[in-house]
């Protein structure tokens, strides 16, 4: 006997904004923000139509692209069997001394790309069978992303969108993304803003990050998976455990359990290794120990966060 309420096929959030040109209007609104830019929590207020001088992201009207393609190393619900369709943007609004992609984030290795070309890449990734479109380091190119999504959606894009961010996102940007992003994947890098200022050179990171994660969850809720375990909509949080507990793991776990949801899908990452300027910033000059990671796992359990990404941990490296 057929169910009276069969499951409805997935439809990405942004399709509902195509009617009456709402998505196009959202893109135009986002570009207006770039004239006095508040599209990340740096609040540089640079006119990015005129200059990138003074803008930490060093990005003007066009986004700078490093690479794109299917990625099989993302979280289980994103990579699935056919990979996550990553679009990796150059530059960043953070200045982490331990960045593993410092040549991209700090040197801006890549090339400028227009929204129509970006839209074509999304459609190519969909044609290759990717499960989603995964915007990596997107906080400084919100306007360009929305413009590209509008073009791609009109040409047949039907994949969920992943906003894969360092977590230093402004409420202005998140308001523009409301109803467009299906899956938010923020880093929660620190539980203490003084530590964030020392090692990522941003102010009020924790206050801004916690507020952003609350808003992301308000928009999309807990992570929901299809019958094959592939993410469709919701929040997925990354927390990189750092040596000597510089990441403030307990404060992050407590916040998620208290102010977001105990059902938060969490990638508690153990792969820290010294990169970029970490050698000059002890204790970041050494890898994470097995004991330090176990302490982080114990804290997640203490706060009832048991929806953890189940990837293999490479302790043989130590």
pLDDT in tens, 22-72: 999 999 999 999 999 999 999 999 999 999 998 999 999 999 999 999 999
- pLDDT tens figures, 280-296: 999 999 999 999 999 99
pLDDT at 9: 80
H helices, E strands: number in the chain: 10, 9
The structural domains of the chain, ordered by start, are: 13-28+62-311 (3.20.20.70)
Mean pLDDT, residues 103-108 taken together: 93
The sign one gets for the Cα dihedral 82, 164, 55, 120 is positive
Residue 111: which of 145, 51, 68, 153 has the closest Cα? Answer: 68
Token output for 132 = 């989603």
Q: Which residue has the tokens 């120990």?
A: 289
Q: What is the DSSP string of 141-155?
A: -HHHHHHHHHHHHHT
pTM here? 0.95
Asked if residue 299 lies in contact with residue 305, where contact means CB atoms within 8 angstroms, the answer is: no
pLDDT at 212 over 80: yes
How do beta strands 84-89 and 133-136 pair? parallel
Asked if residue 293 lies in contact with residue 313, where contact means CB atoms within 8 angstroms, the answer is: yes
The phi and psi torsions of 7 (rounded to 5 degrees) equal -60, 140
């Amino acid at each position: 006997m057929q169910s009276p309420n069969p499951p409805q096929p997935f439809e990405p959030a942004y399709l509902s904004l195509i009617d009456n040109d709402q998505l196009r209007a959202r893109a135009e609104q986002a570009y207006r923000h770039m004239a006095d830019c508040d599209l990340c929590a740096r609040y540089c207020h640079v006119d990015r139509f005129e200059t990138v001088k003074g803008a930490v992201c060093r990005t003007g009207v066009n986004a700078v692209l490093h690479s794109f393609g299917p990625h099989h190393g993302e979280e289980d619900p994103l990579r699935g069997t056919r990979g996550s369709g990553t679009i990796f943007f150059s530059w960043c609004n953070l200045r982490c001394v331990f960045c593993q992609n410092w040549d991209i984030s700090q040197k801006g290795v890549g090339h400028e790309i227009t929204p129509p070309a970006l839209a074509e890449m999304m459609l190519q990734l969909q044609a290759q069978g990717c499960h989603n479109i995964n915007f990596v380091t997107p906080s400084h190119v919100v306007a360009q992303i929305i413009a590209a999504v509008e073009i791609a959606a009109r040409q047949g894009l039907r994949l969920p969108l992943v906003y894969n961010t360092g977590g230093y996102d402004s409420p202005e940007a998140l308001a523009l993304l409301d109803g467009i992003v299906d899956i938010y994947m923020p880093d929660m890098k620190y539980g203490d803003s003084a530590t964030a200022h020392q090692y990522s050179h941003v102010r009020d990171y924790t206050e801004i990050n916690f507020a952003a994660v609350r808003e992301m969850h308000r928009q999309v809720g807990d992570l929901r998976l299809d019958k094959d375990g592939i993410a469709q909509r919701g929040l997925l949080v990354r927390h990189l455990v750092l040596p000597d507990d510089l990441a403030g793991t307990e404060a992050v776990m407590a916040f998620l359990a208290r102010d977001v949801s105990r059902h938060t899908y969490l990638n508690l990452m153990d792969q820290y290794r010294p990169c970029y300027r970490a050698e000059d910033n002890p204790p970041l000059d050494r890898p994470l120990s097995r004991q330090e990671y176990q302490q982080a796992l114990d804290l997640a359990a203490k706060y009832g966060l048991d929806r953890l990404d189940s990837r293999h941990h490479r302790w043989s490296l130590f």
